[in-house]
Structure 1
């Protein structure tokens, strides 16, 4: 066995493929949203399209773009994006070093006509793409609209409003990226699984394009919109059935690795699946139903079961993996590549087992994760059906009902994760049926104090034809303090809030259990204030976003010199303010450090890298259990801080000369800055600069990171929020210019 680089076990079935292509996927579910595993594209050897054919088509579509790359820079690939998708795809890609920057492009064409399905382009970065970007969102949208006209002439698409994309969520050293999604329409009604997504950089460069393509013959039928029931009738039915459900919701702070719990209300999941617009029946996993199921919270088993194999050794883990992953596919050989002992994001000791299915033309693999303490599976995904060595010509559809699949899933939980079974409930929602691989996807939520837990569940996928286990994933948290359900909104009040915000969205859905696979049904689906996964804080009554943050509108402030910078930081969630916020007030060292780090580095805590363990240099007043500890540790690692002062004094105000030291350290210029005697400071108050900080101050002002007023440095003056915002933007630009990455 060999050693390999650590990879997150939280990413379910991220496949590692040799000679393969894995393009993006788009999945449509009915009231359920989950992270979709990227499909695996297997290399083919019988392609009939040549590189010249693809280059000709490429130049037809992009006659004036990409002039800095030539045909010799391109490589060609081909294959299928999904095991059961017979649409042939061909890829052109290039990578090239231009002006000491890495430039990359990938283009995928489909079918005999070589229609452009998607492309991704990483161009040379210029200052125009950084905040404040050259193009506003409205200007970028005009660019995207022109692309729609160019590649989809005559197509009936409608832009989906994106109210939450104030700016890209990337750090300030990365380009501003605007994203636009257009939904296809039929008879004026959007089609849920037909869309085009376009990404535009801050300088107006289009860097991504993805168009979903339909499976099947293309001879699709659609419900007649003139036969739909009135929206008011369906809305009344939904309101009558709507009921707020109290749950726990786990929220993780990715900058520290800590997690907390909130009590929240959500709409009952059966309602969110929607209603058939013609019949008025409920959409369910099994098709249409005249009644709603009322699933009680019931444990999988009533009594605790023994762990599968306590205190698992590495050799036992290998044996377990070989048994679970065994295959009898002709020409395919299982290879256990490596076994790594590590910990998950939630602190569990596990074995990460990297394996490959090797075959004549390559190999496909991923990671299996097993709990070391219990000997139970934490993360498993069956990728054998992604191997196209021996194709299955059978077109047999699923034979299991949802109930039969549920019984299989329960059996797998008892077999592979028995010690969890009494802590988790039977599914309280329908789950959903995956049409492309004939499988049922079911989730078993954790139960605490009689309530389900959002964000802590066992997910199981079962083959609808054979009942085989396709995937199993346990997302379990330990050592959590569960708040009591006291001083909260009543269920009646929460239900009223949901009903007051309820709206209906009419769209076409390709439901696998309604009519046939080539038919699109009209469906009314409920939409609440923050989308179909509406969540209300049970304590405050506020609507929460996907990250558990209050979704009330963030303020836009005014300031004579730093309004744009401050509003960016506020709307990006970097700077949190309240009604008393004064942009000209002094900022503390603690707040300044958080703003800077969140702006120029991704503050994602990873326990398996032991990233925030005590370092050789630290501050005596910032212990490992201090809330600022991860920020201080990251800043020390980056060179932004050093521990020469022994204490950090988080509550103290930050001075101009201290800020100068921080920004110069972030640019990796500590050594030249320490040569304080070589610098001249031609400012009237230069004598006020501390000797050991003279070089830092000289460099910071000379580089334009800090600015003097009336020939004065004011080295010991307190930095205001407005000044910090401006310096933060300048620092990000310099880090980008010097290609300093602090991920």
Structure 2
């Protein structure tokens, strides 16, 4: 359960919003018209780039798109480049109101040739983009392939087989989107960091395009003729592969709740792969002829005292201001708000702050544990400020080992009470080339086992040794199952080995040859659709969400097969081999299906539950597993407490479902005027007087359907009927622009 209360007033909501604006709503979109009249002079290229130049490129690439957008709707941004990347980029965007909806587009062009690097388009919403979409995945792929032809002039991009299921976990009020990844190939071998991603909406509209762009040129590549055979490398991986037993935190994103599973995963040392020519192991430091299995060792052997127990909001704000203080010229720190909430079972202060400079601002959040006074989520964003006197040429002074020592010291300084629960990194530190830093992960240890998903991550600047970021991804109030009745290590290792396959690709590794060279590497891959994770108790392969990745059942039904299968494959409706689509659905199951289908339950419960924490039913208390669903439904008007009990195990009648869906559409008030509605059905007299208006509206809007001129108001709703009603409700919510997040 998530609680939420204010610990301080919002100081400047307007200022905070400046740093949170999406690319569509930058300063140029907010009225900076002067920028459009000023050409960008680029000294390095000795050229002038104007809005007309960018408009010309848009019309070349999109000759028939955006018919209702005129030249005056476009805005041009200033030229820019990313840190450690001298490639110049130019932005062009538009935003327009069409049919009471916002339509927007965003383009990024790179280099002297103004090649398209990124494109995003949000068109007017239509029913064709919603499930069931007008275009199938196969039809959408043809659209993406054709779009790629604009950029694929002999460059050799090929479609990467989609590992993800056709069905998306997005809510049904949002557009269906298909994502296609194309990898650039050299001699028929994919290049790991050169790809194009294209998204297509359910109505066949291309909504986004992104191409990885590198400032590097004159690449060199390993000769494929000199690679070792796949069978030789496979045997080496088979010999080194070993299953490791761990705990895994599995989060239910519909509620924010979490549980723990015992899982087996391959030993991390083999995951990076093998150099295809030398047969050596790929590591962050380069190539190694042997694997080093690092023992689990805690950061400290004895608990350290908390930094400051029982922290107040005032002291938390003072601590944050001291940590965030800056002496950068022209930059002013402002604490915007401080809120007391819970995160992963902990009471925390969430402090929103901004750095104001020039006519702009950048901000984020720092989180402090209330019980210990320790900073559990911090990111130094000062270096991201685009200041005129910014110096990015500082030389690297710290080695990886020195930055690791710094990271350990920062853990002891900022989160001392956590240190004894976490181990030194067992994986190699990752070098972040864009800002010359090293990223380390300290795993939690419970009962001698590592915990996947619970760790302390620390990022240290290799130039200055400063703390770049620190986050405790920790969970409290967790029940850790005993490691009993699980597969043996040998059994799990055999499962991994049986599914092991190799993927040959080019990788750019700065510690192998040089950063202008691509090495051939064999990388291990396991069961398609899984995350190389096995449930230690059942032996099932799990996906990234901790769910069994075995094929889900496909339901046959004369009228609702498509709707039922969507809900099942999206994880909204969980069924087994005994599932009967025509069985009556309980109120509990119906409420879950509806809410998971049309709202992001996790975010809703996190931010809205506090508003309705005093409202519920007598049989749904705060510790009831259905509590977050009920409180959210109450806050949206879908439910009300006119009846004191909810009766979750009871069945749902047609007229009760009518009340729910009409409440979701915010039509409860007119529905209460029951006397004004005329029901011309043979069994209209069976409708409860207080629900007469709800039934009339639900059937009149086509959310529910009568059969042989009968409403059957007291009949029990089946799974098939619920699935159909859910899809219709999502379409109406989209039409009425109702967003229940």
Q: Mark yes or no: TM-score above 0.5.
A: yes
TM-score using structure 1 length: 0.92
Question: 2:306 maps to what in 1?
Answer: 307
Distance change >3 Å, CA 394–CA 257, structure 1 → 2: closer
Q: Deviations over 1:98-149 (max 9, x none)?
A: 1111111111111111111111111001111111111000000000000111
Question: 2:585 maps to what in 1?
Answer: 587
Number of residues of Structure 1 aligned to a counterpart in Structure 2: 715
Question: 1:429 maps to what in 2?
Answer: 427
Distance change >3 Å, CA 736–CA 614, structure 1 → 2: closer
Matched, 1:16 2:16: no
Q: Deviations over 1:465-485 (max 9, x none)?
A: 332221111111111111110
Question: 2:269 maps to what in 1?
Answer: 270
- In 1, distance between residues paired with 2:156 and 2:294? 41
Are the aligned partners of 1:2 and 1:337 in contact in 2 as well (CA < 8 Å)?
A: no
Are the aligned partners of 1:673 and 1:699 in contact in 2 as well (CA < 8 Å)?
A: yes
Are the aligned partners of 1:257 and 1:606 in contact in 2 as well (CA < 8 Å)?
A: no
Distance change >3 Å, CA 606–CA 652, structure 1 → 2: closer
Question: 2:34 maps to what in 1?
Answer: none
Distance change >3 Å, CA 662–CA 459, structure 1 → 2: same
Q: Deviations over 1:352-391 (max 9, x none)?
A: 3333344446443322222233222111122233234224
CA RMSD of aligned residues (A): 2.4
Distance change >3 Å, CA 532–CA 221, structure 1 → 2: farther
- In 2, distance between residues paired with 1:724 and 1:17? 38
SS at match of 1:368: strand
Question: 1:28 maps to what in 2?
Answer: none
Question: 2:196 maps to what in 1?
Answer: 196
Matched, 1:340 2:338: yes
Are the aligned partners of 2:91 and 2:108 in contact in 1 as well (CA < 8 Å)?
A: yes
Matched, 1:503 2:501: yes
The aligned runs of 1:661-700 (5 Å cut-off) are 661-700=659-698
- In 2, distance between residues paired with 1:360 and 1:644? 55
- In 1, distance between residues paired with 2:654 and 2:604? 33
Question: 1:34 maps to what in 2?
Answer: none
Question: 1:297 maps to what in 2?
Answer: 296
Are the aligned partners of 1:341 and 1:349 in contact in 2 as well (CA < 8 Å)?
A: no
State the Cα distance separating 1:433 from its structure 2 match: 1.3
Are the aligned partners of 1:172 and 1:600 in contact in 2 as well (CA < 8 Å)?
A: yes
- In 2, distance between residues paired with 1:306 and 1:149? 62
Question: 2:483 maps to what in 1?
Answer: 485
Q: Deviations over 1:447-496 (max 9, x none)?
A: 11111111110001112233222111111111111111011011111111
Distance change >3 Å, CA 44–CA 165, structure 1 → 2: farther
Distance change >3 Å, CA 231–CA 643, structure 1 → 2: same
Distance change >3 Å, CA 19–CA 128, structure 1 → 2: closer
Are the aligned partners of 1:345 and 1:608 in contact in 2 as well (CA < 8 Å)?
A: no
SS at match of 2:666: coil
Question: 1:392 maps to what in 2?
Answer: 391
State the Cα distance separating 1:322 from its structure 2 match: 4.1
Q: Which residue of the other structure, out of 421, 440, 443, is the alignment partner of 1:442?
A: 440
- In 1, distance between residues paired with 2:21 and 2:740? 29
Distance change >3 Å, CA 424–CA 60, structure 1 → 2: same
Are the aligned partners of 1:586 and 1:653 in contact in 2 as well (CA < 8 Å)?
A: yes
State the Cα distance separating 1:415 from its structure 2 match: 1.5
Moved more, 307-316 or 115-124: 307-316
Could you list the runs of 5+ residues in structure 2 that have no partner in the other structure?
1-7, 27-37, 43-47
Q: Deviations over 1:417-442 (max 9, x none)?
A: 11111110001111321122222111
- In 2, distance between residues paired with 1:616 and 1:310? 30
- In 2, distance between residues paired with 1:207 and 1:567? 26
SS at match of 1:524: strand
- In 1, distance between residues paired with 2:312 and 2:735? 49
Q: Which residue of the other structure, out of 10, 27, 36, is the alignment partner of 1:3?
A: 10
State the Cα distance separating 1:21 from its structure 2 match: 9.0
Are the aligned partners of 2:256 and 2:606 in contact in 1 as well (CA < 8 Å)?
A: no
- In 2, distance between residues paired with 1:532 and 1:721? 29
Are the aligned partners of 1:345 and 1:606 in contact in 2 as well (CA < 8 Å)?
A: no
Moved more, 122-131 or 252-261: 252-261
Moved more, 282-291 or 429-438: 429-438
- In 2, distance between residues paired with 1:69 and 1:235? 55
State the Cα distance separating 1:243 from its structure 2 match: 0.8
Question: 1:256 maps to what in 2?
Answer: 255
- In 1, distance between residues paired with 2:54 and 2:334? 38
